[in-house]
Chain A
Amino acid sequence: MNLRQTKIPLFFLAPTILLLTLFVIFPVVNTVYISFLDEDDAFVGTANYEKMFSKRDFWNPSNLIEGKAPPYGALVHNGIWIVLHLPLSLFFGLLLALLLRDVKGGAIIKSVVFLGMVIPMTVGGILLRFVYNDKAGIVNEFLRVIGLGDLTRTWTAYPQTILLALILGTVWIWTGFSMIVYSAGLEGIPKELFEAAKIDGASRWRRFWRITVPMLRPATIIVITMTLLWELKIFDIVWVIQQGGPGGASMVMALMMYLEAFLNRSFGTAAAIATMLTVLTFGFAAYMVYRMVKE
Chain B
Amino acid sequence: MVIAPWPSWILDLAEDGLLADVSAQVDSSKFVQAYLGPVTSGGAVYAAPFKVSGKPGFWYRESFFADNGLTAPATYEEFTTLLADLSEIEGVEAAVASGNGDGWPLSDTTEAFIIGLGGYQLQENLISGATAFTSAETKAVFEELADLLQAGYFSVPDDWQTQLQRLYDGTYGIYFQGSFVTTLPPFSENLEDIGFFPFPETTGATGSVDYAVMPSVTENMDEARQLIEFLAGAEAQEIMVQEGGFLAANSDVPESAYSPADLQVVQVMQMVNLVSDLDDTIGNPFQQTFWGQLKAFWVDPTMDLDTMLQTLQDDYEASGS
Residues on A lying within 8 angstroms of B by beta carbon are 56, 129, 133-135, 153-154, 157-159, 242-249, 259, 263-265
A158-B157 Cα distance, complex, nearest whole Å: 10
B12-A265 in contact (CB<8A): yes
A158-B300 in contact (CB<8A): yes
B292-A133 in contact (CB<8A): no
For B13, the closest partner residue in chain A by CB is A265
A247-B311 Cα distance, complex, nearest whole Å: 10
Residues of B within 8 A of A249 (CB): 296
What's the nearest-Cβ distance from chain B to residue A57, in Å? 8
A242-B284 in contact (CB<8A): no
Residues of A within 8 A of B284 (CB): 259, 263-265
B158-A246 in contact (CB<8A): no
Given contacts A129-B159, A247-B297, A264-B285, 9 further A-B contacts (CB under 8 A): A56-B311, A158-B299, A242-B295, A244-B292, A245-B103, A248-B292, A259-B285, A259-B288, A263-B284
Residues of B within 8 A of A264 (CB): 284-285, 288
A135-B287 Cα distance, complex, nearest whole Å: 29
A153-B157 Cα distance, complex, nearest whole Å: 11
A249-B299 Cα distance, complex, nearest whole Å: 13
- Cβ of B291 within 8 Å of any chain A Cβ, yes or no, is yes
- Cβ of B293 within 8 Å of any chain A Cβ, yes or no, is yes
B293-A133 in contact (CB<8A): no
Within 8 A of A (CB), among B257-287: 284-285, 287
For B319, the closest partner residue in chain A by CB is A264
B156-A159 in contact (CB<8A): no
A154 CB contact (under 8 Å) in B12, B158, B296 = B158
B285-A247 in contact (CB<8A): no
Residues of B within 8 A of A246 (CB): 292, 295-296, 298-299
B158-A247 in contact (CB<8A): no
A129-B102 Cα distance, complex, nearest whole Å: 14
Q: A56-B311, A264-B284, A265-B12 are in contact. Are A245 and B156 (CB under 8 A)?
A: no
What's the nearest-Cβ distance from chain A to residue B15, in Å? 10
What's the nearest-Cβ distance from chain B to residue A244, in Å? 7
- Cβ of B100 within 8 Å of any chain A Cβ, yes or no, is yes
Residues of B within 8 A of A244 (CB): 288, 292
A245-B296 in contact (CB<8A): yes
A154-B288 in contact (CB<8A): no
Residues of A within 8 A of B295 (CB): 157, 242, 245-247
B102-A243 in contact (CB<8A): yes
Among A56, A129, A244, A247: residue with most chain B CB under 10 A: A247
Residues of B within 8 A of A242 (CB): 295
Residues of B within 8 A of A157 (CB): 100, 156-158, 295, 299
A129-B157 Cα distance, complex, nearest whole Å: 12
